[in-house]
Every structure is written in structure tokens, then in C-alpha cells.
Structure 1
Amino acid sequence: MNIREKLKELGQEQLLKFEKDLTKEELSILEKQLETIDFSYLDELNKKAEPDIREVSPIKAMTRKEIEERKLEFKKVGLDALRKGDVGLLLVAGGMGTRLGSDHPKGVYNIGKTKDVFIFQRLFENALEVVKECGRMMPFFIMTSEKNDEETKAFLEEKNYFGYDKNYIRFFVQEMAPCVDFNGKVLLEEKGRVASSPNGNGGMFKSLLKNKEAYKLLQSSGVKWLNIFAVDNVLQKVGDPVFVGATIKGQYQVGAKVIRKANPYEKVGVICKRGGSPSVIEYVDLTEDMATAVDEQGERLYNFGVIFNYLYDIDLLYKIKDEKLPLHIVTKKVSFVNDEGELVKPQEPNAHKFEYLNVDLVEFASSVLPFEVIREEEFAPIKNKEGVDSVESAQKLLELNGYIL
């Protein structure tokens, strides 16, 4: 079946509506894109989500008090693992700095005041602190997206990876999913290009394995643990030997850095149990009773939020790589070409995007360690230009921790 027959069968012929306006080269590029698009995402639009009726119960976090008491013990175990080359890093960096007012990859955003300080720079410097302590480079995998891959690579090459040995760095591109309007029609972002977006952070390990160079390094390095973290938290410790050691010592399959919630309703996911298995419940699904529930000491039972800094047993990731994760459908504003061939930038959400989420991977683990970190020392997310979780708030936290910007 050729691509035209396939589009007709799917009711998506509009994707070739402007083919007469395209050059031969542009049409060839569009046809290649159409051949690689996974249209099975569209099947999910007609499926009714089943409510999750499993019983939810709290999981006890390892608090700062216990961590401080056992810090030397955990650190020794963690450093041993790092020195043996057991730990790799995976940075999720497929996003753009759109909400920061930038058309560039989020990681290249400059948060300096008196000098250049880039988001990527802070993360590489944090990794190099561990390298200095353990005396060994960690394999460093960076997940980009189609939209920012080339610019990310060029930027980091120009900056010489901020001192990190590039022989230990591999890039791989996150898979994409089509953007669909509310009538189930796939959109065009240009006359010769389908509108698509990254398919979420839940498919990152599968995407890594599809990249030959990344997979080769993963295999040859003998990594046993993968520390997965997001690009937008400029304070987080990565490859943290105490965190690594606590996870290994307790024989957990997954470690998750968590912070005490600022209030019962803070917009962070919470590690808990669903039906007896580890899970992450999103803040929107946390009921009033759960948000405010306390134990005998008056401590909130669902008081620790995840910050997207996880340590995964690599064997678990291999085991679950082909498992079918829940597909989340979100509504967003997506620019598109209308029937007249004009580019429209909507003011309101107009389309569905499809995402697999990392939090759903946690459900496949037999055991998870919620590992408390101090908010003011490890949580400075940059999601907005101003206000909460902004460039400004992150700058203040960095300065409080002694960084000169």
C-alpha cells in the first residue's frame, strides 16, 4: 500500500492537500515523514479511559534524618559503584525554551546575570563534581528531539561539553507523535511538514536502544544503574553517590529523589502504592482527604513530591522496554496550516498531543526508594520566565547555594 492509499484509508488525505505547492524535494521530504509516522496513536482517541480503582496507600520515604545518620555508609557504597563504572546518566533534554520566550533548546538558555551561565552548563558542572570525587567519567546519554537535536549538539560541541569528556557522551532522538485536531485530523505545521511533538519521557529507554551509538556505549560500559533526570532543574545533584548508595544498599529497583511538599496541594506527583505496587499519583488525582491525611505524629502521609530524578536498575529497564505503557492524551495550542494554506497560531488549545510518561515506569518496579532531598539545595526548576518555578526563582536559589551568576 502506497502512502496515498494509506492516507485515504485513514481518512487523512488532507496531509497532501498542498502537494502541488511543493517542490519535488519538499514533497519527497513530506512523503518520507508520512511513511515514518505512527498513525496508531489515533486509535487511542476513541478509547474510553478506564478509571483506576486500585486502592491507594502511602509509601514511607527515607527522610533527611535517616540519610544523615547513614550518609557515610551510603556514600561508600555509591562511590564504589561509581568507581566500577556501574552508573550512567540520562538527561531528558528534548524540550524548547518556548515558555522562557526562547526559540532555542531549553538547555542553551542563559541564566547568568554578570556572566554566561547556561542550563546545560549547570548540569554538566554538577556531573563533573561527582567525576572529580570518584575519579571516573560516567557514560552520559542525552535525549534530544527532532526540533532541537542539531542545535543542541552544535551548542555543546562549541562549548566543549563544559569540560566533560565527549567520548562518554551519546545523543539519541526522542520518538515523535502526530498532533491531531479535535476532529481527529492530523495537522500540518507547514505545507510540507506534519505537526508532531515528542511522545513523552516514558519512551526514553526504548528510544536509546534504537540508536546504535548510544546502545553500543551502554553495552560496552557495563552500566548497571541509570540516573534519569530532566534538563530544567539546575540545582539537582546527578550521579549523587549518597543517593546511589542508599538505593543499592536497600536493594531497591528504583530510587526517586523527593522533596517535602510546600503545601498539601503543591503541583507535584507523589510516590505511593496502588493495589500494593509502587506508583506515582499525579497531583490532580490526589483527593482532598489524601492531600491532608496525617499519621499518628501529625505528619502528612502524602507529603513527598517527585522531582524527576530517578535511579533505575538497568535490568528492570530492559525487562519492561516492550511493555505497553498508558498513553496520555493532552490538549495544547499547536500552530497549523489552515485550508487556505495560512499559518494559524491559536490563542486557545486546539489539538491533542500523545505522551508516554516516566512515572508509569515506576509501576513495573517491585520496590522503590523515595529519597528525600532538601528543596532549597536540590530543586530549582525553570519552567517559566517569571513567577513560580521561573528563571528568577532559580537564580535566587543558585545564589543562596553560593553560585555566582
Structure 2
Amino acid sequence: MLSYEDVKSRLEGAEQAHLLRFWPELSGEQRGDLLSELSRLDFSGLKNHCRGAAEAAASEPSGADQHMQPVQPELVGSVLKSDKKTQANWEDEGLVQISENRVGILLLAGGQGTRLGVPYPKGMYDVGLPSKKTLYQIQAERLRKLQELADLKHGTQCTVPWYIMTSEFTLDPTEMFFKENNYFSLEQSNIIMFEQRMIPAVTFDGKVILQDKCKVALAPDGNGGLYQALVDNKVLVDMEKRGVQYLHVYCVDNILVKMADPVFIGFCVSKGADCGAKVVEKAYPTEPVGVICSVDGVHQVVEYSEIQPETAEGKGPDGELLFSAGNICNHFFTRAFLKEITQKFVAFEVVREEEFSPLKNADEATVDTPTTARHSLLAQHYRWALAAGATFLDEHGNTLPARPSVTAKDSLPAQCEISPMVSYFGEGLGQLLEGKTLTTPFLLDVKRATELKSL
């Protein structure tokens, strides 16, 4: 730990001497805490960090939308526009890579549930499903099922390592939660948790913020800090030791996420891509989501706040939006890309109702709430059951009308939840549900599936 004189001198050099302004009011213990925290700051980069924040706040909009171009059609795949044979080929390729231990998963889980009104990480949140499963449990079970599918198809015993990037605020509770739940029956050695960097929070005029008189306000350095965190925590080294060549990266709050989706993995591998992004069609031109596009020849995400309304509403010759590729923070990277940061990019369009329903806000909000997340999952599983040939009865024994097009915006005729351990993403349900009459609410877990097989 640096001395008071050393810290004071370095703060003055970084134009942040105000961080010591409460020094005369602090107790001996508080002074020790503050010195310890300030000693850990990267003084060599602090001045540039603060100046950069102030300059960014004062600068005019980037004008990126004036240089935006849609991603070239040859670099875009789509589950909406590709035939079933092509998608099956992509899936086969993805399952081959998974079965040969070449695929890993990286979860971005640094956020707390503050906007949800809870003091713990989002992944521990129970959205109110009949099973009471949390986001972490749903994702862990999808991972287990995916490994089973790859093993069944290729006669292997594969492992998909799960890297979980937390923050200072979420690491300890996340580790404890996984431990208390026996790592959801996954091997502990294959779940690797690490922290992303914390950086000082800065005002618009470039001054580091004090959380209180003896503590600096710190914040995770965002998803962009991923690359440095992978190096600092030797995650890339671990990937190399395991033979992992491809990485699926996603955010914790998407209840519909397909863990290491073999179709997406296979598409990216078959295209020889260094990086890729799943996209959904924007719900409306000015929907507040980032857009995947090309700016001056570089593929990137342009945030909605940087796009002028006339650009957002622009249409091509076919009458469709030019910039409809909404970013859902669902990515593919090769290990080589993460080491070298190259730019051979592809995009993969998926159906919003099947793959994207984020949990961000408490139920007082109108979008991205526990209710909308729960409804999205139950609506999806109801569609799966109907497609598999099931019929539903209400609580009075009356047959419910089949509504295979039901979405999260509709009222649900029936509550139907299907465990990820039974079906990864709708596969294999025909042998269980075809011709079956089910009473709502219906929960298809492993035990119930075994019972149905015997009927």
C-alpha cells in the first residue's frame, strides 16, 4: 500500500486530488481503507481515462449513421430464409465441433438485479415459472442436454466448458449459489468463474466519483472489457489447454438463449468466420436496440442513440428496412479472433419469439420484465407441445383450441413448461406428446417424461 504522500502526489498528477478532500474527517480505519483502495488504481492510465470520459461526454454525435451500410447478403444466414436441409447441415457441423470438445460458452454475468428490485445477481432470479427454476438453472440444464445430444449422435463423452464472467459485486454470490445447488449436476472443474475489471466511475467533466467519503465509486468496464479480462484471468490459456477453438458468448438475462446453439456454431464454422452475431428483425424502425451493420467497411454495432430517425426508417428496393438486424448480445468468436482481433464477420438471423426475451426491469415496467420473460418461455413451450401433437384441457376438462402461433404478447390458453433436460429446443417431443391429452398447468420434467414413455 502506498503512503499518503505518494497517493496525494499521484492523484495530483492525474488531476484527481479531490478524492482526498474528506481526509481530515476520516477515522484511522477509514483512512487505511481509502489509501488501500486508491493504491490499487492504475495511476498511469487514470488521467487518460478521465479525460477520455469528459471528451466523449462533450463531443458531438459520431455521425456513424451517415456511413452505415447493411451487412452484405452473402455474410448473413437466416433460420427464416434457409431451407431445412441447409439448417440440418449447419446443426450437424455444430454437433461435430461440440462432440470433439472444440466449443466453449462464455456467460456475461456482471450485472446485479438492481432494476429488478433485488440485491443479488440476475442469474439467481426466479421469474415465476411453475418449476421455480432460476435463469442459472435453466441455462445449466440446457448445457447438460446439449452435451447429451452431441454424445448421443457421435458416441462421445464431450465437455463444453462454461466460462462465467462476473463482477466484483456478483462473483461471491454466484460462486455460493452454484455451490449450494451442486453446480446443477455439471462438473465443477468445467465451470470457470472470473471477474471483469472494475474502473472508476467518472463525471461528465472528468472527475472520479466518490461513493462515500472513503470509497471510490467503481463500475464494471462493460462487455467491451471482455477481451482484457480473458487475458488477465488466463481464460484464453485455459481454452487452449482444453482444445476449445470456438466460443459462444451471451448475456445472462435472455431466458430463451440457446446455449452453444449447434446451428449457429455450424453456420459460423462453415463460413470460416472469425466472429459472428445473432440478430433479430427489429420490431419497428426506431426500436431501442443496437444495429449490426458495416461502417466504413468495418462490421460493428451502432447503438440506437446514434442513429437518426430517417436512417432508422430507411427502406431498400424491396420495401424492407435497410437496418433491421437488431443486436441481441449473442456472439460467436474463434479463440484465434480473441487473441488477434481480426474482422471476418458473419450475421445469423433468428426468430425473436424463439430466441430473445431479456429480463431487465421489474414488473412495474412495460417491457423486459419477469412477466414478459415467463410468458415468452411458456408460450414457446406451448407451441412445442402443440407441434408435437398434444391436446390441452382446461381446469374444467374442456378442450382448448390449438393456437400454434401464440406468442408472448397473446394471452396463454394453457400453462406448459418443458424442462431443458427433456428437450433442448423442441426436439424429441413427438414420441412423448403425440396424441396425448394434457391438463393445464402442465410441467414436463424428466420424471413425467419417463411416465409418458411407458404409456
RMSD value over aligned CA atoms?
2.2
Residue 96 of structure 1 is matched in structure 2 by 112
Residue 44 of structure 1 is matched in structure 2 by 52
Q: 1:325-371 deviations in whole A, cap 9, x for unaligned?
A: xxxxxxxxxxxxxxxxxxxxxxxxxxxxxxxxxxxxxxx513x2211
AA in 2 matched with 1:16 = L
Residue 395 of structure 1 is matched in structure 2 by 374
How far apart in 2 are the matches of 1:307 and 1:21? 47
Asked whether the 8 Å contact 2:54–2:204 carries over to 1, the reply is no
- Note the residue ranges of structure 1 that are not aligned, 5 or more in a row: 321-363
Asked whether the 8 Å contact 2:293–2:325 carries over to 1, the reply is no
Number of equivalenced pairs: 360
Asked whether the 8 Å contact 1:137–1:165 carries over to 2, the reply is no
Q: Percent identity?
A: 34
Cα–Cα, structure 1 residues 67 and 157, in superposed 2: closer, same or farther, change >3 Å?
A: farther
Matches within 5 A, 1:63-74: 63=78, 64-66=80-82, 68-74=84-90
How far apart in 1 are the matches of 2:284 and 2:353? 15
Structure 1 residue 14, shift from structure 2 partner? 3.1
Q: Secondary structure at the match of 1:66?
A: coil
Greater C-alpha Rg: 2
Residue 275 of structure 2 is matched in structure 1 by 254
Cα–Cα, structure 1 residues 115 and 75, in superposed 2: closer, same or farther, change >3 Å?
A: closer
How far apart in 2 are the matches of 1:67 and 1:87? 25
Residue 351 of structure 2 is matched in structure 1 by 374
Structure 1 residue 287, shift from structure 2 partner? 2.9
Q: Secondary structure at the match of 2:81?
A: helix
How far apart in 1 are the matches of 2:203 and 2:54? 13
Residue 6 of structure 1 is matched in structure 2 by 10
Asked whether the 8 Å contact 2:54–2:203 carries over to 1, the reply is no
Identify which of structures 1 and 2 has the higher relative contact order when contacts are C-alpha pairs closer than 8 Å and 6+ apart.
Answer: 1
Is 2:284 the partner of 1:244? no
Cα–Cα, structure 1 residues 46 and 281, in superposed 2: closer, same or farther, change >3 Å?
A: closer
- Note the residue ranges of structure 2 that are not aligned, 5 or more in a row: 152-157, 382-416, 419-442, 444-455
AA in 2 matched with 1:376 = E
Cα–Cα, structure 1 residues 241 and 114, in superposed 2: closer, same or farther, change >3 Å?
A: closer
Q: 1:83-125 deviations in whole A, cap 9, x for unaligned?
A: 1111111100000100000111111112124443212112222
How far apart in 1 are the matches of 2:240 and 2:346? 26
How far apart in 1 are the matches of 2:103 and 2:226? 17
> TM-score of the superposition, structure 2-length normalised?
0.74
How far apart in 1 are the matches of 2:374 and 2:266? 30
Cα–Cα, structure 1 residues 12 and 284, in superposed 2: closer, same or farther, change >3 Å?
A: closer
Deviates more, 1:55-64 or 1:241-250: 55-64
How far apart in 2 are the matches of 1:117 and 1:245? 29
Structure 1 residue 202, shift from structure 2 partner? 0.8
Q: 1:203-248 deviations in whole A, cap 9, x for unaligned?
A: 1121122114x44422211211111100110111021111000111
Residue 131 of structure 1 is matched in structure 2 by 147
Structure 1 residue 397, shift from structure 2 partner? 0.6
